[in-house]
Homo-oligomer: A and B are copies of this chain.
Amino acid sequence: MTLTLPAAAAIGDTLAQIGTPSLLIDLDVFDKNLRAMADLTAAHGMALRPHGKAHKTSAIALRQIAAGAVGICCQKLSEAYPFALAGVKSIHISNEFVGADKVAMAVALAQAVTLSVCVDSLTQVADLAHAAEQAGVNIAVFPEVDIGANRCGVSHSDDLLHLVEAVTRSPALRFAGIQAYHGGVQHIRSWAARRDAAGLGADRAATFVSALAARGMRCPVVTGGGTGSVEFDVRSGVFTEIQAGSYLFLDGDYQDNEWREVVRPQTSLYALSTIMSAGRPGHAVCDVGLKGLAVDSGLPRFVAYLPGEDGPVLSYVAANDEHGILRVTGSDECGTAFLEGRRILLPPGHCDPTINLHDAFICYRGDRVEAIWPIDARGLSR
């Protein structure tokens, strides 16, 4: 049978030619966001190690590194494989992992790239040390400390000291610093409240560094921070490396933050969708729902027509599996049938899990497709 799925887009296509639903990057905005974070961290002498979990795309990681990033973070070991295969030389696994299969992946990665990992228990250190020693590889280790997120990481400096001592005892492991990340701070809406919370987190991180210093242990790197807190983190005097990821895209959840001048990313990520049913007043249905847009951080905050096009105000009010329900304002009298076939741009509420639904970014500049980037770490969550 000669049945072949056609590609969603080709280089040079107009936005009106792209198959929907698709995930789009506005490259003009994306480039500005990428540059601005590189400049901000460089201006403060900070290392930038952007988070690969946000985009899961080696083509983007290589662009971040070309703009000055020291390497990338991955949240999972399997996620790191496509980045390593694409030529990323320095990868930090910003998360704990447990089990012989996971430790074996860490050892395999450490044979290919400069690898660092997080730990928060002595068992994790022991298992990693054993496997790394057997394989004759060197792995840099960052104990994770809890600075208020109350998720992973040790809460007491005694526990940190025990981890550092255990790491130091293994000839295959190297204590490289600590990881201090507080996701909740990133999404505090008020700029001033976010500043204060970021300051509190940095103070907690400093306490751990001081406890190490009191034992004569130098902490070479403090890695953490994110898009929402970066302008405070770079001035904190504690962090040396920033793990921001969403700054490339500015998803809906970050749109809800109050931004000031230092950091002000703009929306570059959209689901492109077609209105495929418009039979009743005030109501239309588009072809992207839960399988193309993550809704855990809310629905798209706005609905845009293609550049240069116009129409009644649309609101995305509900996501079914494969349908998006649109409220149409100001067309109650004449019905909405004229909207059938129109294309719309929807900024996802949460970029990371939305990107994890798609196989490629279709990247456009102006009205034309300029590049198609495979999301090569999509679905790699082990």
Contact = CB atoms under 8 A, between A and B. Distances in A.
Interface of A: 1, 3, 5-6, 8, 17, 19-22, 53, 75-76, 78, 81, 84-85, 95-99, 101-102, 104-105, 108-109, 111-112, 120-121, 123-124, 150-155, 159, 183, 274-280, 283, 285, 287-288, 290-292, 294-296, 319-323, 325, 337, 340-341, 350, 352-353, 356-359, 378-382
Q: How many copies does the complex hold?
A: 2
Contacts of A97: 276, 287
A341 B290 CA distance: 32
Contacts of A321: 53, 75, 352-353
Q: What are the 3 tightest A-B residue pairs by CB atom distance, in nearest-first order?
A: A152-B277, A290-B353, A75-B322
Contacts of A295: 296
A359 B382 contact: no
A75 B21 CA distance: 13
A155 B280 contact: yes
Nearest to A75: B322
Nearest to A323: B151
Contacts of A121: 277-279, 337, 340
A6 to B, nearest CB: 7
Given A98-B274, A150-B283, A379-B358, A319 B296 contact: yes
A124 B275 CA distance: 12
Given A294-B290, A322-B75, A356-B291, A341 B123 contact: yes
A126 to B, nearest CB: 12
A interface majority secondary structure:
loop
Nearest to A355: B291
A381 to B, nearest CB: 5
A3 B81 contact: yes
Contacts of A112: 1, 3
Given A152-B279, A153-B277, A296-B319, 5 more contacts: A20-B382, A53-B322, A120-B277, A151-B277, A151-B285
For A108, A120, A274, A321, the residue with the greatest tally of chain B CB atoms inside 10 Å of its CB is A321
A104 B382 CA distance: 38
A382 B1 contact: no
Given A341-B99, A341-B123, A5 B380 contact: yes
A343 to B, nearest CB: 9
A277 B96 CA distance: 7
Given A280-B150, A357-B357, A288 B341 contact: no
A357 B379 CA distance: 6
12 contacts: A3-B84, A3-B112, A75-B322, A120-B279, A124-B340, A290-B352, A290-B353, A291-B352, A291-B356, A296-B296, A359-B379, A378-B379
A346 B187 CA distance: 28
A352 B78 CA distance: 24
